[in-house]
Amino acid sequence: IVFNPLKERSLERFESPQSVVEMATGNSTPIASTYLQVKVGGDAAAIKGIAKALVALDDAARSSNEAGAAAAAPTLDHDFIAEHTAGIEAYIADLRETTWEAIERGSGLSRTDLEGVAQIYAVSKATIVCYGMGITQQRTGTSNVQQIANLLLLRGNMGRPGAGICPLRGHSNVQGDRTVGITERPKPAFLDRMRDVFGFEPPRKDGHSVVESIAAMRDGKAKAIVCLGGNLAIASSDPQACAEGFRNMDLAVHITTKLNRTHLLMAKATYVLPCLGRTELDEQADGPQSVTVEDSMSMVHASRGFLRPPGENVKSEIWIVGQIAKATLKGKGAIDWDAFIGNYDLIRDKIEAVFPDFADYNRRVREPGGFHLTNSAALRVWNTDTKKANFLCTPTLEDDSTNGDPNVLRLTTLRAHDQYNTT
């Protein structure tokens, strides 16, 4: 079942380049049995409609059983809900209070369509919900994901084989960055481990999100920026403000595999430092090096390039960052930057020291396919204040006063296969 504002051929059917028969005959494999073109920004309404219909099916099953008719199977997993969740009463009350009129207006889909999806879901033995950036890159992105989790919890589709929530990230290793602490709001426990492992006191004040960073650049509150790849000015929500911000900076450093338009925005001092790509051979003091990445399935594996670098002066990101650190700190601190540059295993040793989940990191990452970072929810261990999976109610759909207003246009972005999001 696919929800997408646009009809995309690859979500309807797939012609595999590895299939001789499909290549020779032009045939393809159907992907979706149901394809619903939800309104841009209407995802939360659609999910809420499915959940509302699912609860109605469960109500009907209960009524049938109480009336002495042939036994009807419940559509909600009541045992799972009772043992593993909290907040079901408030969530179901919210679903009952939400009208079908509001759901249809918000989603752009009919009640019949959404009830049909609920009927399919009700008989599914295991369900995975995959979502992309179309869900998250909205004003209501967080609540959209919470709604998906609610829908899965209703039928116990968390922590069992073939079930769960699956984010499809917008870039390789985005998830891996977060796992090892790349965030503007690090938690105190992480900062404590960094202090203990590396022997310095890290700043405790929160940093800036992307939007906050651009505002700080524009308003003169930030003086320097270092970009590891990316095309920030073009990818940002306000390219003009971002361009103004770059021109205000004392220093801008771009560590990049290829040139783009952001590099044309001059700070008082601007450096563009070419670096190796992940497919290029990275030869350091202790021999060829590999980096490690984590995919959307929480699988961590090594990645080693094999292509000849474009020139002997093109260095790796690790080499460049290490040399900047050496030049900036001038011997201060106990970190041996040259050792890290020469052997990336030593960096992984430190990641392991900070994050217990990476125990035996260098051995496990060399196993075929790498290793899996266990998700506590997959084990039905809920690291919340209630020690349960919490059903979370979101603002009512009627709060969006623009729904149905013919004078309001909705803006969306799209890209084709193999097209970067800044093209």
Same domain, 225 and 106: no
Same domain, 212 and 335: yes
Same domain, 230 and 305: yes
Same domain, 212 and 324: yes
Q: Give the model's pLDDT for residue 297.
A: 84
Q: Give the model's pLDDT for residue 415.
A: 67
In a domain? residue 293: yes
Same domain, 365 and 239: yes
Q: Give tens-digit pLDDT for 310-353.
A: 998 999 999 999 999 999 999 998 999 999 999 999 999 999 99
Q: pTM for this structure?
A: 0.84
Report which of 41, 17, 42 is spatially closest to residue 28, judged by C-alpha positions: 17
Segment 50-54 mean pLDDT: 98
In a domain? residue 13: no
Distances (CA, A) of 22 to 6, 18, 180: 25, 8, 42
Residues 6+ apart with CB under 8 A from 262: 227, 230, 231, 232, 233, 234, 246, 254
Q: Give the model's pLDDT for residue 71.
A: 63
Q: Give tens-digit pLDDT for 82-130.
A: 999 999 999 999 999 999 999 999 999 999 999 999 999 999 999 999 9
Task: Using the predicted structure, report yes or no on whether residue 68 has a pLDDT greater than 60.
Answer: yes
Identify the residue with better confidence: 405 or 161.
161
Q: Residue 21's pLDDT band (boundaries 50, 70, 90)?
A: confident
* Tally of domains within the chain: 2
Q: Give the model's pLDDT for residue 398.
A: 61
Segment 243-270 mean pLDDT: 96
CATH number, residue 341: 3.40.50.740
Same domain, 365 and 387: no
In a domain? residue 412: no
Same domain, 226 and 320: yes
Same domain, 152 and 208: no
In a domain? residue 202: yes
Same domain, 96 and 190: no
Q: Give the model's pLDDT for residue 399.
A: 63
Instruction: Report how far residue 129's alpha carbon sits from residue 124's, in angstroms, rounded to the nearest whole number.
Output: 12
Q: Give the model's pLDDT for residue 384.
A: 95
Same domain, 133 and 182: no
In a domain? residue 32: no
CATH number, residue 135: 3.40.228.10
Identify the residue with better confidence: 9 or 253.
253
Cβ–Cβ under 8 Å, residues 95 and 52: yes
In a domain? residue 143: yes
In a domain? residue 416: no
Segment 131-158 mean pLDDT: 93
Same domain, 326 and 390: no
Segments forming the whole domain that contains residue 108: 38-158+380-399
Q: Give tens-digit pLDDT for 187-246.
A: 999 999 999 999 999 999 999 999 999 999 999 999 999 999 989 998 888 899 999 999
Task: Using the predicted structure, report yes or no on whether residue 81 has a pLDDT greater than 90.
Answer: yes
Q: Give the model's pLDDT for residue 70.
A: 60
Q: Give tens-digit pLDDT for 342-397.
A: 999 999 999 999 999 999 999 999 999 999 998 899 999 999 999 999 999 987 67
In a domain? residue 389: yes
Amino acid identity at 379 = L
Same domain, 111 and 236: no
